[in-house]
Amino acid sequence: MPPHPERKGEGGLRTRGYVKAAAGTDDDAATGGDHESRRPLVTVITVVFNGAKTLEQAIISVITRSYDNIEFVIIDGGSTDGTLDIIKKYDHAIDYWVSEPDKGIYDAMNKALDVALGDRIYFLGCDDLLVNDLRNFALLFRRRDVLYYGDVYLIHQHRLYDGAFNGFKLVVRNICQQAIFYPRGVFKKYRFDTRYQTLADYHLNICCYADPDLSLTYVPELVAIYNDSSGASSSRVDDVLEKDRNRLTRQYFPTSIYLYSLLHEALRRLLGFFGLKRVVKTALRKLSA
């Protein structure tokens, strides 16, 4: 094949013939596979664009995990700030990387899903740190219909986020993507909707919550340190999702939760009108806890 005309580089262990294998599916036992004795392969995906200031620490946090059955995929959007040099420095520890233009963070994530081979898929921001050793989570990963999630530490707010979620909690705020281990099968049904520029992961999580073939299970462990001051979803509102929020809530949540969301929004607007922003955050956090 001719080289991609806009591609700045491609590499990693896979390009040299070292390809890691997933543990398989739940059907392996019926076909004589050795699924029970094999450790699930976890694909860690990092997408980056001009992230040279933080990317190296993110990479180190992945490649030093004690659970070593990890496939590490990095999708770079054609950085010009030295990011590519950092990626090449760790080429020996990255399973696959590519540097080429994309249409935004969720387009890059969808591209990563096209090459991911893991039983579980995990997304780590280029300015976040994976701190969990994954061994306890890996014991649970054989359930192919469950999204397992834990907590992240918000370095800007100096607190853990955010415990167990139910429908009432999910309708008003998202499970942090850096806390979730998705089963591979999720992405055979869904991809990130790139219309949502900063909260497509929220939309995905709502779809998974409403899917009768999937469930979400909380594991009380710290998964990652999340840079809540610089992430895309932290820096600006997703106007398209906000426009669709009422429709999505009615479509994916029971009526009781939909009515709760209307009350929640009305209370937020009322308190915001009186300039009680701090009171709003504290009160609504307690209300949806």
Average pLDDT value over all residues in the chain: 88
For the beta carbon of residue 118, count every other beta carbon within 10 angstroms: 27
- Is pLDDT at 138 greater than 50 in this prediction? yes
- Is pLDDT at 52 greater than 60 in this prediction? yes
Rounded (10°) angle between helices 239-252 and 200-210: 0
| pLDDT (tens digit per residue) in 77-123 | 999 999 999 999 999 999 999 999 999 999 999 999 999 999 999 99
Check residues 210 and 282 and name the one with the higher pLDDT. 210
Beta strands at 215-226 and 70-76: parallel, antiparallel or unpaired: unpaired
Q: What is the mean pLDDT of residues 214-230?
A: 93
How close are the terminal C-alpha atoms of the chain, in Å?
Answer: 53
CA distance 201 to 277: 26
pLDDT the model gives residue 288: 52
* Cross-strand partners of 47: 75
Please state, for a pLDDT cut of 90, what percent of the chain lies above it: 74
pLDDT the model gives residue 26: 47
The pLDDT confidence band at residue 5, using thresholds 50, 70 and 90, is low
- Is pLDDT at 206 greater than 90 in this prediction? yes
Q: What is the mean pLDDT of residues 126-143?
A: 93
Q: Are 163 and 209 in contact (CB under 8 A)?
A: no
Domains of the chain: 9-252 (3.90.550.10), 254-289 (no CATH)
